[in-house]
């Protein structure tokens, strides 16, 4: 998407939800998804367009559910239904039912006579993906871009000035990824280790964390490790492993200062001992600068 578009609204979960992305002046992208079940794609698109024609506006809404402005090859789906509409504004959209069992309706919005709107819609809609690539899901929000195995579900987001933090669960395991801005200001007069102790040690206190320096992509960093501090941790771990159940008793994490982007990146997780290398893979799939 264009760099000046930002998230305006997001709700729901993996099964059903809605996303709106806003441009500088008005909404520019809408995506709705739900479990498809026995949904008829053609009728779903037709119902949506019929709702638009009933909208009260000074300019009547004209719709077209036979347009071919985007192809199945571009979208990468076997069954799609492109559509467009024009009223006071305009929208180029496409619906599909994916092999992962979800119905998706997505549209790019603009002014009625906006030059290049169709080409922009094709560029954006052809890059939408609704399921994992080779077992990994891409998550990207406000300069935090990372990938996690498809079994992890997004369970918590924290968005505030200078911080984007996403928490993922694959019970009993948990992974947290975060991006802190204005790193030069945050590290002025202190070290990365001291910063990490202040920001992270409360969240990690149940794991007796230890840290050691490491270099990642040429950046100053810390590697954090630890084991569950609970007195019965060893007994619980042994019992879980005997019955082949995961037990999130291992802490593995990374913190690094990316000077080119002026950000601090954090990736850590509480995982089973057999998955200790998972955090290395997620770290390597986290983009800090191009």
Q: What is the pLDDT of residues 51-101, one digit of tens each?
A: 999 887 788 899 999 999 999 999 888 889 999 999 999 999 999 998 888
Question: What CATH number is given to the structural domain containing 105?
Answer: 3.40.1000
Q: Are 280 and 186 within one domain? A: yes
229 belongs to a structural domain:
yes
Closest CA relative to residue 251, chosen from 233, 276, 221: 276
Beta strands (DSSP E) in 53-119 are 62-64, 80-86, 89-97, 102-111
Q: Are 22 and 51 within one domain? A: yes
Q: Are 180 and 207 within one domain? A: yes
Q: Are 13 and 90 within one domain? A: yes
Closest CA relative to residue 286, chosen from 202, 168, 129, 126: 168
Task: Please tell me whether the peptide bond between 172 and the residue prior to it is cis, using omega within 30 degrees of 0.
Answer: yes
The structure tokens listed for 62 are 């004209």
pLDDT of residue 232: 45
1 belongs to a structural domain:
no
Q: Are 153 and 261 within one domain? A: yes
Q: Are 216 and 184 within one domain? A: yes
290 belongs to a structural domain:
no
Q: Are 152 and 112 within one domain? A: no
Query: How many angstroms separate the CA atoms of 18 and 31, rounded?
Result: 6
Beta bridge partners of 29: 21, 108
pLDDT of residue 243: 47
**Each residue of 209-238: pLDDT tens digit?**
899 999 999 999 999 999 887 654 555 555
The structure tokens listed for 195 are 């910063």
pLDDT of residue 246: 65
Q: Look up the domain containing 13 and give its range.
A: 6-125
Q: Of 125, 156, 190, which residue is a domain's last?
A: 125
pLDDT of residue 231: 54
Q: Are 143 and 270 within one domain? A: yes
Q: Are 107 and 148 within one domain? A: no
130 belongs to a structural domain:
no
With beta carbons less than 8 A apart as the criterion, state whether 288 and 263 touch.
Answer: yes
Q: Are 258 and 211 within one domain? A: yes
pLDDT of residue 20: 97
pLDDT of residue 58: 80
Question: What CATH number is given to the structural domain containing 272?
Answer: 3.40.1000.10
Q: CA 130 from chain center: how many Å?
A: 11
Query: How many angstroms separate the CA atoms of 138 and 146, rounded?
Result: 6
Q: Are 147 and 261 within one domain? A: yes
198 belongs to a structural domain:
yes
With beta carbons less than 8 A apart as the criterion, state whether 210 and 225 touch.
Answer: yes
Q: Are 26 and 140 within one domain? A: no
Q: Which residues of the chain have pLDDT under 70?
A: 230-246
pLDDT of residue 98: 86
Domains contained in the chain, number: 2
Query: How many angstroms separate the CA atoms of 203 and 217, rounded?
Result: 26
Q: How far is CA 8 from CA 26, 158, 237, in A?
A: 10, 15, 43
231 belongs to a structural domain:
yes
54 belongs to a structural domain:
yes
Output DSSP code: residue 133.
B
131 belongs to a structural domain:
no
Beta pairing, strands 219-227 & 210-216: antiparallel
């Amino acid at each position: 998407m264009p760099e000046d578009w930002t998230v305006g609204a997001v709700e729901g979960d993996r099964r059903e939800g809605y996303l709106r992305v806003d441009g500088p002046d008005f909404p520019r992208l809408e995506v709705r998804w739900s479990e498809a079940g026995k949904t008829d794609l053609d009728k779903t698109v037709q119902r949506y367009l019929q709702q638009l024609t009933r909208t009260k506006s000074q300019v009547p809404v004209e719709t077209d559910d036979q347009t071919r402005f985007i192809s199945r090859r571009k979208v990468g789906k076997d069954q799609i239904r492109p559509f467009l509409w024009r009223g006071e504004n305009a929208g180029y959209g496409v619906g599909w039912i994916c092999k992962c069992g979800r119905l998706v309706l997505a549209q790019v919005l603009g002014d009625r006579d906006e030059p290049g709107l169709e080409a922009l819609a094709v560029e954006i809609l052809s890059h939408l993906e609704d399921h994992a690539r080779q077992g990994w899901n891409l998550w990207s929000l406000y300069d935090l871009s990372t990938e996690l195995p498809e079994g992890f579900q997004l369970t918590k987001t924290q968005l505030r000035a200078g911080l984007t933090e996403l928490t993922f669960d694959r019970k009993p395991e948990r992974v947290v990824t975060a991006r802190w801005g204005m790193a030069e200001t945050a590290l002025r007069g202190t070290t990365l280790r001291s910063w990490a102790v202040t920001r992270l040690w409360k969240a990690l206190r149940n794991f007796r964390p230890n840290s050691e320096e490491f270099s990642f992509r040429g950046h100053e960093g810390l590697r954090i490790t630890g084991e569950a501090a609970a007195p019965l941790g060893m007994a619980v771990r042994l019992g879980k492993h005997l019955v082949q159940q995961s037990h999130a008793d291992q802490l593995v994490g990374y913190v690094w200062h990316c000077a080119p982007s002026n950000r601090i990146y954090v990736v850590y997780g509480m995982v089973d001992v057999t998955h200790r290398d998972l955090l290395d893979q997620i770290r390597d799939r986290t983009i800090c600068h191009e």
